[in-house]
Amino acid sequence: MGEMTVPSDALYGATTQRAVLNFPVSGRPIPPAMIHAFCLLKKACAEANGQLKKLDERRVRLISRACQEIAAALADENGSATASMMQQFPIDIFQTGSGTSTNMNVNEVIGNLAARTAGKPLGSRDPVHPNDHVNMGQSSNDTFPTAMQVAGALTIKARLIPAVRRLARALHVKARRFDGIVKIGRTHLMDATPIRLGQEFSGYAAQADYSVKRAERAMVRLAENLPIGGTAVGTGINTHPRFGRLVAGKLRKETGVKFAEAGNHFEAQATRDCVVEASGQLKTIAVALSKIANDIRLLGSGPRCGLYELTLPATQPGSSIMPGKVNPVICESVMQVACQVIGNDTAITLGATGGIGSLLELNVAMPMMAANLLDSISLLANVSTIFADRCIEGLKVNRSVATGMVEKSLMLGTSLVPQIGYDKAAEVVKGAFLSGKTVRQYVLKHKLLDPEQLDKLLDAASMTEPKGT
C-alpha cells in the first residue's frame, strides 16, 4: 500500500497508522481491558506454537516478555503507565468490523517491543515479525472475538461479581435489622396489606443474589466458547489442529477462568450469540438495580410531603436554589447506569443481528460490541459498589412514620375476609373511608365483631405471615 509515516516514538507500525487516519470517528480507543486480554491471548498463542514446534524458543520468550510488559503497564495502579501504554493503541472503536486494525496494532507493538529487547531498531521486524510470528496460526477473525470474550469474562470475575456480592451483603444486613418493623405494603402505589420492612428488603437482597448468579452465568458463557483456532472462516486453515485447545488451556491456567475452545468454530466466528447472552444477563442486573434504587428513592421521599419511611444518607447539597434540600443522588446514579446498560445491550443485540453485524462466516460489528460489553460491566461494578457504600449501608428507618400508618390503612379490612366474607369486608372498608374512621373504629362502632376477636384479626404483625383461616 506504499509508504506510511509513523511517529518516531510509536511502538506501532504502518497498519496501525493507516487505521488511525481512516477512523477518526469518536476519539474513543479500544478499552484497556481488551488490550490486556489480547496480551494474554498472544502470549498463550506464542507458547502454544512453541509447544507445537512451530515457533522457536527465543521468539516465544521475546513475545511473552513483550506481552507481560504491556500487561504490567496496563495494570499500573496510579494510572500513569497505563495512560502512556494506551497511547500505543490509538485506533478508534468504530473501525473495521472484524477488529483487524486492533489485532494488527497489538501485533505491531509486540513485535517492536521484542525488537527493542533484542537490540534491534523499531520497525525492523527482526527477530519477531508481527504477522509471521506474533500472529502465527491466527486471524483477526478468531483473535478479536476471543479477546472480547476473555476481556469480558475476566472483568466480570475481577470487578462485577465482587461488587454485586458486596451490595447483596449490605441489603441482607438491612433486611435482618429492619425485620421487626411492620409497615404498610403498597401495590399500584396504593395502600395494601401490612409487610415487614425486613421482608421488603429481603426481596431486594434476593434480587442482588440473583444478580450475582447472572454475572457468573455471563462469565461462564463467554469463557466456554473461544473462537481461537478457527482462523479465517472457522476451518482452522494455517494452524495446527491442537492449537485452539492448547491456547484455551494456557488461558485457563493463567487466569483461573475455565476457558475452553469452541465446540463449533463456524458458530463461534459467524455469530456473537454468546456476547448477546452475556449482555442480556448484564441488562437484567441493571433492571434489578434500578428497581431497588427507585423503591428506596420513593420510600425516602419527603421529608414532609412524601413517604419518608427511610432516611437516605446525605451525600451532597441537593439544590443550587433551595437551601437544605437533599436529593437521592446515589439512587439516581444507579438508575442512569441502568439506562445506559440497557442502551448498550440494544447496540450489542443489533450488532449481532443478521444483516447488520453477523454476515455469513464473520460478525463485522465486534469492536462496537466489545466496547459496549465492557462498558456495561464496568458501569455496573462501579455503581454497585457506590450504591452499597454510600446509600444502603447508611439507610435509617423513620420508625414512627413507617409504623404509624399501619392502623390507618383501610386494607386491614382484608384480614376480616375469612371471618365475615369479602362483600361484608368491602362494605366495612367503604364505610370506614367515607366516615373518616379506621377499620377498627368502624367495626367497633357498628358492633360487627367482638373487640377481643377484632384485636386478634387486626394484629398487623400476624398479617405478614401465612396463617390458617
Asked if residue 31 lies in contact with residue 41, where contact means CB atoms within 8 angstroms, the answer is no
Q: Pull the grid cell for residue 185.
A: 405494603
Q: Is 319 noted as a catalytic residue in this protein?
A: yes
Q: Of the candidates 389, 178, 353, 191, which has an alpha carbon nearest to the alpha carbon of residue 279?
A: 353
Structural contact between residues 334 and 285, judged by C-beta atoms closer than 8 angstroms = no
Residue type, 339: C
For the chain, the maximum distance between any two Cα atoms, rounded to a whole number of angstroms, is: 101
Integer Cα distance of 259 and 245 in angstroms: 10
CA distance 5 to 7: 7
List the one residue out of 221, 196, 214, 371 whose CA is nearest residue 281: 214
Handedness of CA 402, 406, 408, 411 (dihedral sign): positive
Which residue is catalytic, options 26, 80, 84, 319?
319
Alpha helices in 352-410 (DSSP H): 366-387, 399-404
Identify the DSSP state of 407: T
What letter represents residue 86's amino acid? Answer: M
Closest alpha carbon to 239 in 174, 146, 307, 105? 146
The string over 314-348, giving b where at least 16 C-beta atoms fall within 10 Å of a residue's C-beta and e elsewhere, is eeeeeeeeeeeebbbbbbebbbebbebbbebbebb
Q: How far is CA 215 from the centre of its chain?
A: 7
Q: 29 to each of 124, 142, 155, 160, 192, how far by Cα in Å?
A: 26, 20, 18, 22, 52
The yes-or-no answer on residue 333 being catalytic is no
User: How far is Cα 47 from Cα 53, in angstroms, rounded to an integer?
Assistant: 10
CB of 261 within 8 A of CB of 229?
A: yes
- Position of cell 458501569? 379
The amino acid present at 169, given as its one-letter code, is R
CB 226 within 8 A of CB 259: yes
Residues labelled catalytic: 188, 319
